[in-house]
């Protein structure tokens, strides 16, 4: 009899988005006239910019001609894209080599798969609230104990709340792997430079590895904030960085992302010897992954062209204006709001200590607006609520109008 990977049975039910869907459907069935506005899920709405569509089309045509057809490409990505990414890092003051970059079909898979190259005994730390992928993939790998009251055993939770400015505190003791996400989903907070310097120092002193998710770096509006962990001195020895075209360039349905594993990053094997992680990740990717399709990589390359950058920046500015409208509208309405300045998420305190699900229901029933209960991201998310700036302007304005009029 085949046996399952029993660690999967430790997973808490994938509760959040199905439950949101269930409540919204039930409400819509009772109130067919209600015009429901969805600011819940973190997905882009604007179409792909023209320079990117043009590159996608041209590359697709190339695939249809004998002289330019391409079969399997390099697993890590084509040189044209790796070089464009390295040049972009150079411009951002965070130099990385083109062959330290690994192109993939998403940061979700990369942040999920990266744990495979680490031993099961590693102690992992995550923030609370957290992007659930980091947690669930470590549960699946057997790196945690069973869950109790929403928290898994052996996992170190770092509370990020209004009290600490949503800046993850260092763990009490020694951990081996730390997931950080800045700008943050869901809190919308960006980690200050000094905090990242502190984390790099911690990692160096404790031989820990930082897994830095920078999926939202392009949404940073205020100058002076860190876009890449490699802007921090010493990070090349302790950090892996994940970036994605998904939110930056509207690629959630196109699928392209990249991960940087510096060649200077090492960890120990079971004999205590130092081993480069770059070689392990290269081996993992070349064994289990056959690369992103050529047309998609050409589309991604176009993101870095001057016209591509301009078009992508216009879309980001559109979303960040939405964020400003939500943030200021809700502040005027008396809410305490966080985020929305350097990230497309507004993280609000539920009024009168309402539970985040109670607030969800109230918002749905009284304003017909859908958001995401903070409790779905971890126990420290209880008492908070996420609104996404990924929507059409008219819907965002209408949502804010309704919230101001009627809660
Ligand atoms: C959206 C998102 C990503 C990107 O995921 P893709 O698989 O590249 O679409 C990564 N990390 C976080 C925290 C996200 O919210």
Chain-centre distance for alpha carbon 171: 22
CA of 257, closest atom in ligand 1: 8
- The 3-state DSSP class for residue 213 equals strand
Mutate to test the pocket of ligand 1, among 132, 247, 255, 372 (most ligand atoms within 8 A of CB): 247
- CB atoms closer than 10 angstroms to residue 386: 26
Strands 37-38 and 369-370: what pairing? parallel
**Pocket perturbation via mutation, ligand 1, pick of 109, 215, 254, 339 by most ligand atoms within 8 A of CB:** 215
**5 Cα–ligand 1 center, Å:** 26
pLDDT mean over 25-48 = 95
Tell me if 247 sits within 8 A of 255, measured CB to CB.
no
Nearest CA to ligand 1 atom 4: 107
Q: Which of 367, 368, 369 is nearest to 388 (CA)?
A: 369
Q: From ligand 1's centre to the CA of 134, what distance in Å?
A: 11
The percentage of residues in the chain with a pLDDT greater than 90, rounded to a whole number, is 96
Q: Which of 105, 108, 300 to mutate to test the pocket of ligand 1 (most atoms within 8 A of CB)?
A: 108
Burial class (CB in 10 A: 0-12, 13-18, 19+), 324: middle
**pLDDT reading at 45 higher than 90:** yes
Asked if 282 and 263 touch (Cβ cutoff 8 Å), the reply is no
Ligand 1 atom showing the smallest separation from residue 184 Cα: 13
- Using the predicted structure, report yes or no on whether residue 17 has a pLDDT greater than 90: no
User: In terms of DSSP bridges, do strands 124-128 and 155-159 run parallel, antiparallel, or are they unpaired?
Assistant: parallel
Nearest CA to ligand 1 atom 15: 185
Q: Can you tell me which atom of ligand 1 is nearest the CA of 110?
A: 7
- φ, ψ dihedrals at 257, nearest 5°: -155, 180
User: How far is ligand 1, taken at its centre, from the CA of residue 107, in Å?
Assistant: 5
Instruction: State yes or no: pLDDT of 282 exceeds 80.
Output: yes
Give the tokens for residue 149.
């009251």
Cβ contact 144:153 at 8 Å = yes
The full set of domains in the chain, from first to last, is: 6-47+308-406 (3.90.1150.10), 53-304 (3.40.640.10)
- Average pLDDT rounded to a whole number, residues 171-176: 95
Asked whether the predicted pLDDT for residue 58 surpasses 80, the reply is yes
Is the separation of the CB atoms in 231 and 206 below 8 Å? no
Query: Which residues, judged by CB distance below 6 Å to any ligand atom, belong to the binding site of ligand 1?
Result: 42, 106-108, 131, 181, 185, 213, 215, 244, 246-247, 252, 257
Which residues 6+ apart lie within 8 Å of 75 measured at CB?
285, 286, 289, 290, 291
- Report the atom number in ligand 1 closest to the C-alpha of 109: 7
pLDDT, mean over the chain:
97
pLDDT in tens, 114-161: 999 999 999 999 999 999 999 999 999 999 999 998 899 999 999 999
48 CA distance to ligand 1 middle (Å):
17
Q: Please give the distance, rounded to the nearest whole angstrom, from the Cα atom of residue 42 to the centre of ligand 1.
A: 9
Using the atom order of ligand 1, give the atom closest to the CA of residue 213. Answer: 11
Contact residues for 96 (Cβ-Cβ < 8 A; gap 6+): 86, 89, 230, 260, 262
pLDDT single digits (tens) 68-127: 999 999 999 999 999 999 999 999 999 999 999 999 999 999 999 999 999 999 999 999
Q: How far apart are the CA of 244 and the centre of ligand 1, in A? A: 7
13 pLDDT more than 80:
no
């Amino acid at each position: 009899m085949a046996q399952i990977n029993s660690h999967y049975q430790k997973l808490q039910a994938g509760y959040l988005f199905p439950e949101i869907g269930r409540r919204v459907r039930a409400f819509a069935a009772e109130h067919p006239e209600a015009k429901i506005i969805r600011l819940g899920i973190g997905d882009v709405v604007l179409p792909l910019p023209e320079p990117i569509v043009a590159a996608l089309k041209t590359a697709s045509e190339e695939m249809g001609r004998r002289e330019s057809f391409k079969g399997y490409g390099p697993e890590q990505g084509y040189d044209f894209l790796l070089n464009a990414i390295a040049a972009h890092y150079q411009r951002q003051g965070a130099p990385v080599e083109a062959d330290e970059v690994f192109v993939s079909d998403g940061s979700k898979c990369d942040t999920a798969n990266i744990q495979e190259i680490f031993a099961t005994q590693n102690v992992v730390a995550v923030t609370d609230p957290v992007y659930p992928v980091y947690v669930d993939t470590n549960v699946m790998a057997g790196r945690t104990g069973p869950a109790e009251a929403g928290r898994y055993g052996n996992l170190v939770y770092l509370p990020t709340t209004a009290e600490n400015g949503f800046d993850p505190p260092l763990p009490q003791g020694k951990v081996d792997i730390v997931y950080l996400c800045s700008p943050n989903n869901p809190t919308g907070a960006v980690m200050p430079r000094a905090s990242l310097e502190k984390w790099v120092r911690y990692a160096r002193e404790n031989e820990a590895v930082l897994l830095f998710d920078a999926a939202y770096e392009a949404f940073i509006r205020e100058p002076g904030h860190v876009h890449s962990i490699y802007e921090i001195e010493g990070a090349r020895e302790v950090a892996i960085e994940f970036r994605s075209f998904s939110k930056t360039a509207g690629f959630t349905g196109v699928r392209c992302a990249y991960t940087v594993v510096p060649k200077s990053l090492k960890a120990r094997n079971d004999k205590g010897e130092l081993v480069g992680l770059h070689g392990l990740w290269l081996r993992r990717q070349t064994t289990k992954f056959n690369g992103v399709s050529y047309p998609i990589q050409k589309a991604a390359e176009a993101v870095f062209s001057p016209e591509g950058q301009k078009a992508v920046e216009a879309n980001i500015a559109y979303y960040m204006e939405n964020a400003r409208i939500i943030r200021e509208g809700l502040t005027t309405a008396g809410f305490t709001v966080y985020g929305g300045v350097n990230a497309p998420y507004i993280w609000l305190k539920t009024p009168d200590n309402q539970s985040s699900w109670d607030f969800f229901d109230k918002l749905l029933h009284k304003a017909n607006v859908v958001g995401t209960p903070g409790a779905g991201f971890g126990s420290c998310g209880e008492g908070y609520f996420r609104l996404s700036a990924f929507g059409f302007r008219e819907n965002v304005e209408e949502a804010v109008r309704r919230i101001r009029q009627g809660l």
